[in-house]
């Protein structure tokens, strides 16, 4: 039973490593000109825009208004 458990863990780790490696290769190898990027990469780009950049800009705007008002 001990060997079966560690065999399953080993294959699970290898499967996750393969997925991560494939995502890394797709990220580092962008498409040629005229071809659209991978759908997953477009989704990540949109997500980063809405989840990181927009809140950061709102925070900077609030900071600027606060400093301008001297509060």
Looking at the predicted structure, is the pLDDT value of residue 34 above 80?
A: no
Neighbouring residues of 42: CB distance < 8 A, sequence distance ≥ 6:
36
Check residue 37 and give its pLDDT.
67
CA distance 52 to 60: 12
Averaged pLDDT of the chain? 82
Supply the DSSP symbol for 35. Answer: S
Q: What percentage of the chain exceeds 70 in pLDDT?
A: 94
Kindly report, residue by residue over 37-68, the tens digit of the pLDDT.
677 777 877 887 788 888 888 989 988 898 88
Q: Give the model's confidence band at 71: pLDDT under 50 very low, under 70 low, under 90 confident, else very high.
A: low
């Amino acid at each position: 039973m001990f060997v079966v458990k560690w065999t399953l863990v080993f294959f699970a780790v290898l499967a996750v490593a393969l997925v991560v490696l494939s995502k890394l290769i797709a990220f580092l190898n962008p498409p040629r000109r005229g071809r659209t990027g991978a759908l997953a990469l477009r989704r990540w780009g949109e997500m980063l825009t809405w989840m990181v950049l927009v809140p950061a800009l709102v925070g900077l705007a609030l900071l600027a208004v606060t400093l301008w008002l001297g509060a």
